[in-house]
Amino acid sequence: MRREIASVYTYISMHATQNKLQGCDASVLLESTDDNVAEKDAKPNKSLRGFSSVERVKAKLEAACPGIVSCADVLTLMSRDAVVLANGPFWPVALGRRDGRVSSATEASNELPPTSGDVPLLAKIFASKGLDLKDLVVLSGAHTLGTAHCPSFADRLYNGTGENGAYGLVDPSLDSEYADKLRLKCKSLDDRTMLSEMDPGSFKTFDTSYYRHVAKRRGLFRSDAALLFDATTKDYVQRIATGKFDGEFFRDFSESMIKMGDVGVLTGAEGEIRKKCYAPN
């Protein structure tokens, strides 16, 4: 169970803000139909996993108290509990969310924050959800857990542009020694057979080592590296990277997760309580 929850949290922590296109309504759990391609099948979401774990938890809840606990609440609770199981902080989760009925791959492809995004772009997307620059750098700390497929970062290894438009150069914002190690794992831009730890050496434990990697130019994604190119986010990265403010980060992360869990919530007569998370009632 510990492994399954951690797997679910990996995708929630990586994509939580990305998946809230309609709000915190579990739209990412809906499956595609003959006449609609759902959010989970959008290209940016191809790496998501852990859906079966959510369904198993939901099935047990439906057996015990049918029609009471929404998939949106299940997802929110599982993300919190997975952090706790990974030695991270606990925070209170307000319940009562309802599930949405709409899920669009087109919206996901057009609106999800890209892993190649810079801080101005990411900050704009976060702001549209009521989240600020501090939330951005704090929630990026969720990359302390999990792994990523090569295509999500291989452009940093093979698609950099140097002088005179040279092709195939490593992204200069990436530490060269780290880049060499990544190239050994990812042989090409589209190598989907290999995974890389987002927080090497500590990817199963919720801690602050992610920030130490970023401070050393060893963040896996361009969006990680971008945190060093904004004064506010850089200051936070360097502060937490010292290892002296773990408690501060844990408190900040808890507060940002609470804020994110309140984005676009459906209540009252809005939406529904799905019987199965993968399909509307």
Element housing 190 (H / E): none
Q: Is the dihedral of CA 215, 156, 191, 143 positive or negative?
A: positive
Token pair in block for residue 243: 């290892």
Q: Following DSSP, what letter does each residue of 199-236 receive, concatenated? A: STT-TTS-SSHHHHHHHTT--SSHHHHGGGGSHHHHHH
Token pair in block for residue 134: 């501090």
What Cα–Cα distance (Å) separates residue 254 from each residue in 84, 168, 175, 209, 259? 11, 40, 30, 17, 9
Q: Is 144 annotated as a binding residue?
A: yes
User: Could you tell me whether strands 160-161 and 167-169 are parallel, antiparallel, or unpaired per DSSP bridges?
Assistant: antiparallel
User: How many Å is the Cα radius of gyration of the chain?
Assistant: 19
Q: If phi over 0 gives left and psi between -120 and 50 gives alpha, with beta otherwise, what is residue 160? A: beta
Q: Is 23 annotated as a binding residue?
A: yes
Q: Is 25 annotated as a binding residue?
A: yes
Distance CA 158, CA 170 (A): 6
If one counts every other C-beta atom within 10 angstroms of the C-beta of residue 4, the result is 16
State the burial class of residue 3 (Cβ atoms within 10 Å of its Cβ: 0-12, 13-18, 19+). exposed
Element housing 250 (H / E): helix 246-261
Q: Is 27 annotated as a binding residue?
A: yes
The structure tokens 């759990």 sit at 29
* Residues that constitute the known binding site: 23, 25, 27, 39, 113, 143-144, 199, 207
* Residues that constitute the known binding site for heme b: 143
* Residues that constitute the known binding site for Ca(2+): 23, 25, 27, 39, 144, 199, 207
* Residues that constitute the known binding site for substrate: 113
